[in-house]
Structure 1
Amino acid sequence: MMNRIFCAKKALFSLFLISGITALNAESFRVSKVHELTVVQTAESEGTAKLGINEALAITLPADQTFLEGLELKFEIPETVASWTDSVACSVYSNITPTPKASQIDYSGTRAYVRTLPGKLSWVLQIPLKSENSIKSNNYTTKVDTVITPSKNMIFVRLQPVMKGVPEETLNAIVPITVKPILMNKGQLSFKLVSSEKQLAPCTIFIDDKMTLLNEHSKVLLDTGVHDISIISEAYRNEVRTVRIDRAKTTELTVEMKSLEPTLLITAPEGTDVLLDDVKCTTFGKEFVITEGEHRLKVRIGDYEILRSINAIKGKTYTANFALDLQITED
């Protein structure tokens, strides 16, 4: 028993010594097989690979990693491995070459993290991919203490034996590893302002009453939940919107900036004659621009006629709805 502990400590010391040297230099190694998994930026993304000892796992990350803080790897450790504490190590590599694939067994890379599998049947390893992250270690998880920079959008994980005298059943064990993305508790607002003008005039944008520096085509990360958006401009009407931001999702918001010129919307039954300042109207059911100041609206159906006046003010929309009577409302 003492000899086994001595061998384990010696193997572990040698492994960490090698790791310390290779933290700045690439090492070459051979694996017996490479498994492949792909992670996407959704909470439902999950994949499992069953690794043998001295096999590796190549985890492909999405091209867009806006919401991706890290990776969570859950190891289901067989009893034959757990009972031989410190007999198998897990290493995480960066700058792996060549590009991993199932038919390739010889690689070179920088070992960024190494640890022997603990003497328990389940272990969760969390790998941070960004310096700013919310990942925290606890009694049930282990956090890699350095940020792993993906190479070619890939993380490479390797299992290897590090103790001599380990029984065959341990060396032949299969370790299932389930990989999930760790997503930030934020979403993204894709913001777009449009107008009928060729060039959009300057606008001031407020999110939850806080001025935000955005242009007409911007993306901004926001906490999940409901947010109030206000757009203020001297050239357009003020616009207010409410958006809901979901975790790790992009919400698109397009706002049409309307001119400050007053507009009129007319609705009337078919066969109704409508005259605006004695000119027959042909536009119904949608807004059209009118000039500021006093206007006369005449609506006639058969022998029935109604006259109304509108004092059009800058930045206002007027609705003329003819039923049995003519109603004018101001927004």
Structure 2
Amino acid sequence: MNIFKKTIRLILLLMPLINIYPENVRGLIVDEAHIKTISGYEQTLEIALEEAAAIYIESNSQFLTALQLELILSATMKNYSDSFGIAVYKKVNPQPQKGLRFFTAERVFFHYLPYQNRIYINLPLLRSAINDTAATGSFTLEEPLEMEDFPLIVSMIPLMKGIPASVIDNKFYLNIKPILMKEGSLKVEITLPGHSQMSDTTEKVDEIFQLYIDGQKIIEPFFLPAIESGIHRLKISSSLFKEVNGTFTIEPAQEKVLQFELQKSQSFLNITIPRGSEIYLDGVKLSPPQINNISLSEGSHTVIIKIGDYSISKKINVVAGKNYNLSVIFDIIIEED
């Protein structure tokens, strides 16, 4: 019977730590954190006892798995660590703002501060982000938060009376940083010469060019909602336009947009002619230095070779991206009667 009574008391003591129902909360909101889902982002707030801070999530939360709160205690505060606690609230009403002192909210976390320089509180937004935090001074919520729970409130609460004024006036430093997935998104925008966007052309995109990421063909609309962070290879191949090859980097949670304007493939003509010959391309006479790597536009061209009183002409139908070699060879033909 005595064991049963002790068990009941223990349950009653633990139940107030997490409250699934709204409760009246008192604490002056003195600062706000607007957390951006950017790799390496971190924001630091200062709050004292009986003060609170609001936490907002900025921008796209698609790749956000958790928030990590790091509470740093000064040497003075650490000596009174068991005299106060830290609480985290969700679904705050009214909307939190600086100067607000009274509000209702649901408590999701509470713990007295251990005798340590710092503690960590992990607030998961995905169940996969809930991990074992047996390390001293590290805590994780057992249930993930939802975006509808934000903004959150973090409050420092005194647990006993008689705390010296010098301690009450001291500040806690609260570092907040996002924990991100190791992936981002990619959008590739490709335009053709003379077109502002691909919709301006009636041709099928796949007949004009093909896009490859890390060797894998990507189809329209050339958007990858999730791509692993790191370095990747890109290739745009086409029989009509210059091939594009390159690399790009995806940072965690980055929404990357790559833009390319394809350039028409060039065609070149190289000519080999006997010494003393004259050469004309589309009616324009060329001198010897100009007869190698002659840039040709797509379409029909006429080449005329003159040697003394003799001339020969040849039409070339140029296909973009193809190169051509023209050779004039004279031979001696011997016929036997």
TM-score range relative to shorter protein? 0.5 to 0.7
CA displacement, residues 194-215 of structure 1 (integer Å, 9 cap, x when unaligned) = 3444346254654223355x52
Tell me how many residue pairs correspond in the alignment.
286
Structure of larger gyration radius: 2
Q: How far is the alpha carbon of 1:31 from its aligned partner?
A: 0.9
| Residue of structure 1 aligned with 2:153, choices 153, 156, 164 | 156
SS of equivalent residue, structure 2 residue 15: helix
Matches of 1:70 and 1:125 in 2, distance apart?
A: 10
CA contact (8 A) 1:224 1:244 kept: no
Note the residue ranges of structure 2 that are not aligned, 5 or more in a row: 1-8, 270-278, 286-293, 328-337
Structure 1 match to 2:213: 207
Q: Please, which of 53, 57, 82 is the counterpart of residue 49 of structure 2?
A: 53
Matched, 1:247 2:243: no
Distance 1:274 1:239 in 2: 31
Match of 1:329 in 2: none
- Measure, in 1, the Cα distance between the counterparts of 2:139 and 2:303: 75
Choose from 2, 15, 18 the match for 1:17. 15
* Distance of 1:299 and 1:227 partners within structure 2: 50
Displacement after TM superposition at 1:168 (Å)? 3.2
- 1:296 aligns to 2:293 (yes or no): no
Residue 226 of structure 1 is matched in structure 2 by 231
TM-score (normalised: structure 1): 0.66
- AA of the residue aligned to 2:141: V
1:177 aligned residue (166, 174, 179): 174
Partner residue of 2:141 out of 137, 144, 166: 144
| Residue among 181, 185, 188 paired with 2:185 | 188
Structure 1, unaligned runs of 5 or more: 1-9, 267-272, 326-331
The answer on whether the counterparts of 2:47 and 2:171 sit within 8 Å (CA) in structure 1 is yes
Displacement of 1:101: 1.1
Equivalents in 2 of 1:286, 1:60: separation in Å?
A: 59
User: Are the counterparts in 1 of residues 108 and 141 from structure 2 also a CA contact under 8 Å?
Assistant: no
Residue identity opposite 1:296 in structure 2: T
Q: Is the deviation greater in 26-35 or in 147-156?
A: 147-156
Specify whether residues 299 and 54 from structure 1 end up closer, same or farther in structure 2 by C-alpha distance, changes over 3 A only. farther
Structure 1 residues 33 and 258, CA, compared in 2 at 3 Å: closer, same or farther?
A: closer
Q: Deviations over 1:62-118 (max 9, x none)?
A: 122344333222211244543455432222222212111112111122222233222
What corresponds to 1:121 in structure 2?
Answer: 117
The structure that is helix-richer by fraction is 2
SS of the residue aligned with 2:147? coil
3-state DSSP class of the match of 1:90? strand
Q: Give 1:3's aligned residue.
A: none
Instruction: Give the distance between the partners of 1:173 and 1:299, measured in 2 at CA.
Output: 94
Residue identity opposite 1:39 in structure 2? I
Secondary structure of 2:226 counterpart: strand
Structure 1 counterpart of 2:275 = none
* Superposed CA RMSD: 4.3
TM-score (norm 2): 0.65
Q: Is the 8 A contact 2:183 2:250 kept in 1?
A: yes
- Following superposition, the deviation at residue 159 of structure 1 comes to 1.9
CA distance in 1, matches of 2:134, 2:296: 60
Deviation at residue 151 of structure 1 after TM alignment: 3.9
The one-letter amino acid of 1:247's match is: E
Given the superposition, is the C-alpha separation of residues 252 and 124 from structure 1 closer, same or farther in structure 2, using an over 3 Å criterion?
A: same
